[in-house]
Structure formats: structure tokens, C-alpha cells
């Protein structure tokens, strides 16, 4: 976030903490899409995403006076949403058996002949059937990998912010991200050929 | 390799090492000879990109948004403020 936007947001948060309903409303407008999207990716369920959205902002309104500004506001808000989402996941049986996630095999990467992927036909990606398969791949990842992938790669948050939200070390964030990306790449190698993306 | 310098920087950054540190220099030497490493990084980039493209299709549905503001007992001030900005 740019300094100017950050200043504007700090003012908005301060007004909201003093009971300004219009400021609260602006904060909801600012973050509603991102929180809904986070819930959707985390749970792969529109209903759960809606619940996460509502619960997050209800808590935000109730507890905004407790926000001390030690972290950025969005880190604080994301942490609320993430906790609600993870609780929701724990309360339900997993749809898929979680896969085991390993480190990339560096020796194999450097010694086996690798073929490049040409430019994809991204028009195919939005097709429902392919999209469903992509979602399944993400859903099969254990929660501690999926959360990092969603925050770092889909929401484009920094390693530092991701670490704060998930309350893990930056090194741990990097390791989980590397493994998650590698897992998805390996799975996609089969899928892209199967679906005629290349 | 056109992306090799970028790749080398990223690997060093990932390891949290200075660019001129011994481990980073060793990595640079290794990457010079590793064509597959570049292919690997390219595939990782494309993998992430595929997910980003797929993800951009997801929007907050209007009815969900309306319900949210009712539950929160807040006004959705999106529209009036946008029109006043245009004025």
C-alpha cells in the first residue's frame, strides 16, 4: 500500500474507532472483495465464504477499538478472517485426503531433461471444468500450505505480512510457499497436457 | 540465459543472502550451467499465473454484498461517493 493510501486508511480507522459509521462503511467497501475471495479460496464454498465475510466484518466493528496500529490494519483484518476460515475448516470433514507436500527434488530438476511450457491459452482457464480441477488441486493441499499460497501468490501479500497473519516465521512462510508452488507445478504438468492447454 | 541474472537474484533473496556472499557466488556459478533450473522457475511462474488468471473471475455477488450491509447495519456508501467524485 502506498504512503498516501496508508495515511488515508489510518485516518479512516481512527474515525471508525470513534464510532463514525461512514468510516466503518468505507472500510467494509475497501476490503469486502478481498475478504470474500480469501474465504472462497480457503473453503472452496460460496456459503462458507459468505459466512466468513459477515463474521469478519461483525468482529471488525465490535473490536476495532482494540486495534492499536502495531501492524497494518489489513494485516489485523486478514488475521480475523483467516482465523474464522480455519475454524470453519476444522469443524468440517475434508472433502479430499490431504496430499503429502515435499521439497522440490533439486537433483532431479538439474539432471533430468526438462521441456518448457509454451504460452498458455488462458481463455481455457476460465472454463468451468478446468477451473474445478484447479480448485481441487488447491483444496488437496494441507491448510498450512494452502493459506500461504493464497496470501502470498493470490493476494500478493508480502512475506512479512503473511507471517504476521499466520503467526509463523518469515522462513517458514518461504518454505511453505516453495513447497506449495512446487506441488501445484507438478500437478499442473499433468493437467495442462490432459486439458489441451498447450 | 536472459533470465539468469534475475533468477540468481531471486534465489539469493530467497536464501536471505547478500549478492556478493560466498553461497550466492556458488549459486551463480551453478545456475550458469543449469538450463533446467531456468525452465523450472519459468514453470513455477506460469503455475502461479494460471491460478491468478483463474482467480480473477471470482467477484463478490451483489446479493451477498447487499446482505452484508444489512447485517452490519451500515449504509453502502459506494454509489453516492463515487458519483460525487465524478462531479
Contact list, B48 vs chain A (CB under 8 Å) = 153, 181, 184
d(CA A179, CA A2): 30
Rounded distance, CA B20 to CA B12, Å? Answer: 10
Q: pLDDT digit of tens for each residue in chain A (198 aa)?
A: 677 777 888 999 999 999 999 999 999 999 999 999 999 999 989 999 999 999 999 999 999 999 998 889 999 999 999 999 999 998 887 777 777 777 766 666 666 666 677 676 667 666 777 788 888 888 889 999 999 999 999 999 999 999 999 999 998 998 899 899 989 988 888 877 776 665
Residue of A109, A137, A148 best to disrupt the B interface, most CBs of B under 10 A = A109
Take residue A44 and report the three cell numbers written for it: 472452496
User: For residue B16, what are the domain limits?
Assistant: 4-86
Asked if residues A86 and A48 have their Cβ atoms less than 8 Å apart, the reply is no
Domains of chain A, earliest start first: 3-90 (1.10.1740.10), 106-194 (1.10.10.10)
Contact A110, B37 (CB under 8 A): yes
Q: Count how many domains chain B has.
A: 1
Residues A109, B40: C-beta atoms closer than 8 Å = yes
Judged by CB atoms closer than 8 Å, whether chains meet at A178 and B14 is answered as yes
Q: Does B53 touch chain A (CB under 8 A)?
A: yes
DSSP-based three-state secondary structure for B74: coil
Contact yes or no for A122 and B75 at CB 8 A: no
Q: Do the chains contact at A25 and B74, CB–CB below 8 Å?
A: yes
Residue B1 sits at the chain A interface (C-beta within 8 Å) = no
- Chain A residues inside the 8 Å CB shell of B71: 54, 58
Least confident of A32-46, A99-113, B50-64, B67-81: A99-113
Question: Up-side HSE of residue B31: CA atoms within 13 Å toward CB?
Answer: 23
DSSP label at residue B48: H
Contacts of A61 in chain B (CB under 8 A): 72
Q: What is the ipTM of this complex?
A: 0.82
User: With contact defined as beta carbons under 8 Å apart, do A184 and A138 qualify?
Assistant: yes
Q: pLDDT of B7-33, one tens digit each? A: 677 776 666 667 677 777 777 777 777
Q: Shortest CB distance from A50 goes to which of B35, B52, B64?
A: B64
Amino acid at each position: 500500500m502506498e504512503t498516501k493510501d496508508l495515511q488515508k486508511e489510518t485516518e479512516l480507522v481512527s474515525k471508525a474507532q470513534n464510532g463514525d459509521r461512514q468510516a466503518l462503511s468505507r472500510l467494509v467497501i475497501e476490503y469486502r472483495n478481498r475478504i470474500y475471495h480469501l474465504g472462497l479460496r480457503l473453503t472452496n464454498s460460496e456459503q462458507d465464504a459468505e459466512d466468513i465475510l459477515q463474521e469478519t466484518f461483525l468482529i471488525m466493528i465490535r473490536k476495532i477499538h482494540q486495534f492499536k496500529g502495531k501492524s497494518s490494519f489489513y494485516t489485523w483484518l486478514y488475521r480475523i478472517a483467516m482465523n474464522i476460515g480455519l475454524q470453519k475448516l476444522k469443524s468440517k470433514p475434508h472433502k479430499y485426503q490431504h496430499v503429502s507436500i515435499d521439497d522440490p527434488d533439486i537433483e532431479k530438476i538439474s539432471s533430468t531433461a526438462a521441456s518448457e511450457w509454451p504460452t498458455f491459452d488462458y481463455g481455457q482457464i476460465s472454463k468451468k471444468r478446468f477451473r474445478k480441477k484447479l480448485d481441487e488441486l488447491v483444496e488437496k493441499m494441507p491448510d498450512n500450505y494452502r493459506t500461504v499460497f493464497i496470501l502470498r501468490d493470490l493476494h500478493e501479500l508480502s512475506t512479512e505480512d503473511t507471517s504476521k497473519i499466520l503467526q509463523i516465521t518469515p522462513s517458514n512462510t518461504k518454505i511453505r510457499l516453495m513447497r506449495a508452488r512446487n506441488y501445484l507445478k507438478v500437478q499442473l504438468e499433468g493437467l495442462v497436457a490432459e486439458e489441451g492447454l498447450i | 540465459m536472459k533470465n539468469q541474472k534475475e533468477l540468481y537474484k531471486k534465489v539469493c533473496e530467497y536464501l536471505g543472502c547478500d549478492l556478493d556472499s560466498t553461497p550466492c557466488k556458488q549459486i551463480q556459478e551453478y545456475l550458469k550451467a543449469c538450463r533446467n533450473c531456468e525452465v523450472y522457475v519459468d514453470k513455477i511462474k506460469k503455475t502461479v499465473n494460471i491460478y491468478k488468471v483463474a482467480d480473477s473471475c471470482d467477484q463478490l455477488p451483489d446479493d451477498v454484498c447487499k446482505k452484508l450491509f444489512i447485517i452490519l447495519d451500515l449504509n453502502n456508501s459506494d454509489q453516492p461517493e463515487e458519483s460525487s467524485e465524478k462531479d
